[in-house]
Each structure stands twice: as C-alpha cells, then as structure tokens.
C-alpha cells in the first residue's frame, strides 16, 4: 500500500499527492458504510490499480482539523483581513481566531492586507488588540509589495491555510506570493462593500518555495454551536491565566460575581474589545444550541 496526501476532492474523486506525482483515487466502499469522511489535507493509504488510478484504503491519524471548510493536518492558519475596503470588523476577526484555536492549529498568524490604504494610525488601530495577546502580525500590500517576502518566509515548508472574510484580498495576496498560482480574484461590491466569493473549494496548492497553502472559500460566519460554552474562554489565550480562580465552578465569565476574568477586564489586563467579542460569541453559541434542540 502506498501513502500520500489528499490535495483536493471533487465530485467523489480524491487527488492524492505521493512521491511519484498526483494519483486520482476513489474511496473504498467501507468508508461510506462507516461514514468516515476524507477531507483535503488528510494523509491516506491507497492501493494503485492497473490504470494507475487508486483506491483509498485507510485514513491515517489526523493532527488537527479545521472544520469549516474541512481541511486536515494544518501547520498554521493565516487569518487575513483588510486594513480597509472593507474595514476590519473586530468581532469577525475574533471569530476566525476562536475557530483556529478550537481546531488546535499549532500556529496562528494575523495578516493585515491592503496596508497601503491606511496610514500608520489606521494600522495601529487595526492591530493593537492582537499583537499584545501574542499573535504574530504581518502587514502586507499587493500594491507596493510590503510584507510579501516576510509572509513568503512564514509559509516556507509548511501547510498553511488562509482564512478570512470576503474582500480581504486573500487570492490577490497568494498570487503575489507565487504568480504561478494564478488564482481568480474578485472586485469589491460598491453597494455592500464586500468581496465576491472567488474560491469555490478548499485545495492544497504547492508553493514554489516549498510547502502548501490552502485558499479557502470566503465566508462571513461560522457554525459555532459545536463549541462547548464552558470551553470558549480557553480559546482566548489572554483569558487562560484567570480561568481557575473564579468563585463559582463552571463560571461563564459573563454575569457571575467574583470572576477573575471580569476583574482582569476592569483592570485592563484583558482588552475590552476582546471581552466584548467573547460575550457576543458566547451568546451566539447559546442561541444556536437552542435552535438545534
């Protein structure tokens, strides 16, 4: 049996990269019976047929899984948002960060794209909430080339998923990193100030300098109902030092008295914009869970 990595799947075909090249595979029937889903990024074992196509026989253990869109075995997430056009939305950025933390991605990087559209004060306003937490931030512009080399080095020899709201310029940014990718790009709607979705499926794309990137479909919301409400605070790194000293066991850090997280917010140790995002996401999780029960 041979082994390889699923580069993409489309119309029940799985395109698996191994040492010899790309092999077009289908699933062994028991996968369908066991309802085991194979996704982009999975490492699989497959048998080769006489026509050089393959049949996926086994799914190797995953290191992690980004759930929406489904991509497995990621080394890092590049959360990409625009400095302007459209203006960055803190709640939306924080929801992407929560998803990445929940998915146990080893490294999370923020990329502020379209930096040529704002001055230094605008950059600082967009980045202040995240650099202090400890996330690495890379500032880029496809117009003047700022930050492209730094981002290219960050991607080298890693499997990186690009995620972010529509209109952040992800496809243009990837084309600047490696023109051979030749990804479709879209214009910003003048009416709603949002980008059109130009990426239709999640697939691994090889980079000239080594490694793979995933250009994921643009979307503006996540299905968060699978996150346990009491675990949500743990997906905010700056909350973690304060999670074990609250008065009540099972504290949601929202309304309870003698809560160390709330005290840290009041004392400026946790930024109010991040705490507000936490409360908003906590409420959304609760509302969605009610909808599905």
Range 229-291: architecture per CATH: Orthogonal Bundle (1.10)
pLDDT of the chain, 293 residues: tens digit per residue: 899 999 988 888 999 998 888 999 998 887 766 656 888 899 999 999 989 899 999 999 999 887 766 788 999 989 888 888 877 788 888 988 998 888 888 999 999 988 888 887 777 777 777 888 889 999 999 899 999 999 999 999 999 988 877 777 888 888 888 888 776 554 433 332 334 444 456 788 888 888 898 765 543 345 677 789 999 999 999 999 999 989 998 999 999 999 999 999 999 999 999 999 999 999 988 887 676 55
pTM for this predicted structure: 0.80
**Domain layout of the chain by residue ranges:** 2-61, 66-215, 229-291
Q: What is the pLDDT of residue 292?
A: 59
CATH of 2-61, one of 2.40.50.140, 3.20.20.80, 3.40.50.1370, 3.10.20.30: 2.40.50.140
Q: What is the pLDDT of residue 186?
A: 45
Q: Which fold has domain 66-215?
A: Rossmann fold (3.40.50)
Per-residue three-class SS string for 223-281: CCCCCCHHHHHHHCHHHHHHCCCCCCCCCCCCCCCCCHHHHHHHCCCCCHHHHHHHHHH
Q: Which of 204, 149, 158 is nearest to 181 (CA)?
A: 204
Q: What are phi and psi of 6, to 5 degrees?
A: -75, 115
């Amino acid at each position: 049996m041979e082994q390889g990595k699923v580069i993409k799947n489309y119309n029940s075909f799985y395109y698996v990269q191994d040492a010899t090249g790309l092999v077009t595979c289908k699933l062994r029937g028991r996968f369908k019976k066991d309802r085991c889903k194979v996704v982009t990024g999975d490492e699989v074992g497959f048998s080769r047929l006489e026509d050089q196509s393959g049949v996926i026989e086994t799914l190797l253990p995953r290191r992690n899984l980004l759930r929406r869109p489904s991509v497995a075995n990621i080394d890092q997430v590049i959360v990409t948002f625009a400095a302007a056009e459209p203006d960055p939305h803190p709640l939306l950025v924080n929801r992407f960060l929560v998803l990445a933390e929940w998915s146990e991605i080893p490294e999370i990087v923020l990329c502020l794209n379209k930096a040529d559209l704002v001055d230094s004060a605008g950059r600082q306003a967009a980045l202040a909430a995240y650099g202090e937490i400890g996330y690495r931030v890379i500032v880029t512009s496809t117009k003047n080339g700022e930050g492209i080399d730094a981002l290219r080095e960050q991607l080298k020899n890693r499997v990186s998923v690009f995620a972010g709201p529509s209109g952040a310029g992800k496809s243009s940014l990837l084309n600047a990193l490696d023109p051979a990718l030749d990804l479709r790009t879209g214009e910003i709607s003048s009416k709603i100030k949002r980008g059109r979705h130009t990426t239709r499926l999640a697939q691994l794309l090889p980079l000239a300098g080594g490694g793979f990137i995933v250009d994921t479909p643009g979307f503006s919301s996540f299905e968060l109902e699978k996150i346990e409400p009491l675990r949500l605070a743990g997906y905010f790194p700056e909350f973690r030092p304060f999670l074990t000293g609250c008065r009540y066991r099972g504290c949601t850090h929202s309304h309870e008295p003698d809560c160390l997280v709330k005290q840290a917010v009041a004392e400026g140790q946790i930024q109010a914009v991040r705490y507000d995002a936490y409360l908003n996401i906590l409420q959304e999780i609760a509302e969605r869970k009610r909808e599905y029960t």
